Amino acid sequence: MNIVEISFIVEAKTMGNLRTKNVLYYFSESTHSLCLDKEAIMLAQVHACEGLLDLSKDQTDTAVLEGEISKLKFAIEMMKS
């Protein structure tokens, strides 16, 4: 039997009105995670946004999520260099 433990799960949701939409994150950590790597957190945020982007039907939400994904990917690349 193979046991795989996911150390944390990130959920994303959009919030705000038409002028000020933001992406909010909900972190659900397991009891065994003591510290989390910044890059791992940001990658989880990207995956959460991509999952929400697949379900989004609103153009404003889509634009906000695409912007958030590009900002997160840029920040990850900057951390690596």
Is residue 16 situated within a structural domain? yes
Is residue 3 situated within a structural domain? no
**Residue for token pair 């995670």:** 33
pLDDT at 2: 41
Domain enclosing residue 52, as ranges: 8-80
Is residue 72 situated within a structural domain? yes
Contact status, residue 25 vs residue 8, Cβ threshold 8 Å: no
- C-alpha span between 52 and 50 (Å, rounded): 5
Is residue 60 situated within a structural domain? yes
Q: Which has more pLDDT, 8 or 12?
A: 12
pLDDT tens track for 23-57: 999 887 664 555 677 888 899 899 999 999 999 99
Flag whether the pTM goes above 0.75: yes
Q: What is the DSSP string of 27-73?
A: EEE-TT-----HHHHHHHHHHHHHHHHHH---HHHHHHHHHHHHHHH
Instruction: Flag the least confident range among 2-6, 43-47, 65-69, 72-76.
Output: 2-6
**What total of structural domains would you count in the chain?**
1
Is residue 56 situated within a structural domain? yes
Helix (H) or strand (E) holding 75: helix 59-80
pLDDT at 1: 43
Is residue 74's pLDDT more than 50? yes
Is residue 67 situated within a structural domain? yes
